[in-house]
Amino acid sequence: MTEAYIYDAVRTPRGKGRPDGSLHEVTSVRMSATVLNALKARNGLDGHAVEDVIWGNVTQVMEQGACLARTAVLASDLDETIPGLSINRFCASGMEAVNLAANQIKGGAGEAYIAGGVEMMSRVPMGSDGAAVAVDPSVAMERYFVPQGISADIIATEYGFTRDQADALAVESQKRAKAAWDDNRFAKSIIPVTDVNGLTILDHDEFIRPGTDMQTLGALKASFKDMGEVMPGFDKVAMLKYPHLERINHIHHAGNSSGIVDGSAGVLIGNAEFGKKYGLKPRARIRQTCKIGTEPTIMLTGPVPATQKILADSGMSIGDIDLFEVNEAFASVVLRFQQAFDVDMDKINVNGGSIAMGHPLGATGAIIIGTLLDELERQDKQVGLATLCIASGMGAATIIERV
């Protein structure tokens, strides 16, 4: 089978994801085109250089509607002969774009792809698509639907995680993210966002709060307690599904949950012939990909079975992995992953994660693959695994190996 190699990975800085954020005036199309143009320029691409642009995006309405991938190609410097495909696997959309591209190459369907994603959460609010999984009673009631924050608190309750543990993980995420920026560890991948005059709008992740400590977080109110215990009373829905739980322990709040931000990321993937044609050296190969469905009420446990599946599919064990990127959707997601595999936390999210820097839904899967690759190179390690939990109960994972 043909190998699929990563030749380059870039991302924009993550903006605050609200109207006073630096990127609010930048459209989803322009953010996507910024990444596409960077990959084209950095790698000397011309003509029909890639078979397709596969672009992840979660809230596919308004400016993110229709086929955003094709719109982004037309707005970029890429040749118009390159088509575009928009996909949605919720929080893993950017990763699924990369995985789909890699498997297309492995199957012989083209020499190269650009894959990644975008989410402008300040401009297209999360949930504004009115998704049926949350609002259609015939689905939501039968499957005991609860919001993701409640699901994160169910994980904490089911697996015994305390608020102090969640807050400590959040403080560490902030600490690691600041250290990474201070040490310029993202310099290889970051593409500054500019205005129409070429002036820089944003060149760093503006969501980071380096002064965060346990006392600061301890003062925050649990974000999902009222919706769980009062109205609309989602705790009772959850306990219909999990009657062994006497109550839901609400430990999550704005400080130990992922930040709502804007951002975009892209990965250039190709076979060996593509690299020779453009004089590019592969940085890593995509060794294995996987996706899996999980129980939809607890919803966010997907990284555990996805990791079990991808390791089994590739004939590997957890000890074969040098570094991990586990998306910090909520603190309990990472705590559960660490608990399940007993992985040293020094190997997980070593440069911080979405709690510190934010989670632009459609882009994060591609962001963490690029971050993982950069860190493998920095530490001179070989094999890394990236994984995300996914809304409605799914998980996805990717194993990359330096070459």
Catalytic residues: 91, 359, 389
Neighbours of 321 (CB within 10 A): 20
Distance CA 222, CA 216 (A): 13
Q: How far is 45 from 78, CA to CA, in rounded Å?
A: 8
Measured at the alpha carbon of residue 19, what is the angle toward residues 130 and 13, in degrees to the nearest 5? Answer: 95
Q: What would the 3-class secondary structure string for the chain be?
A: CCCCEEEEEEECCCECCCCCCCCCCCCHHHHHHHHHHHHHHHHCCCCCCCCEEEEECCCCCHHHCCCHHHHHHHHCCCCCCCCEEEECECECHHHHHHHHHHHHHHCCCCCEEEEEEEEECCCCCCCCCCCHHHHCHHHHCCCCCCCHHHHHHHHHHHHCCCHHHHHHHHHHHHHHHHHHHHCCCCCCCECCEECCCCCEEECCCCCCCCCCCHHHHHCCCCCCHHHHHCCCCHHHHHHHHCCCCCCCCCCCCCCCECCCCEEEEEEEEECHHHHHHHCCCCCEEEEEEEEEECCCCCCCCCHHHHHHHHHHHHCCCHHHCCEEEECCCEHHHHHHHHHHHCCCHHHECCCCCHHHHCCCCCCHHHHHHHHHHHHHHHHCCCEEEEEEEECCCEEEEEEEEEC
Query: Would you give the distance in Å from CA 377 to the centre of its chain?
Result: 20
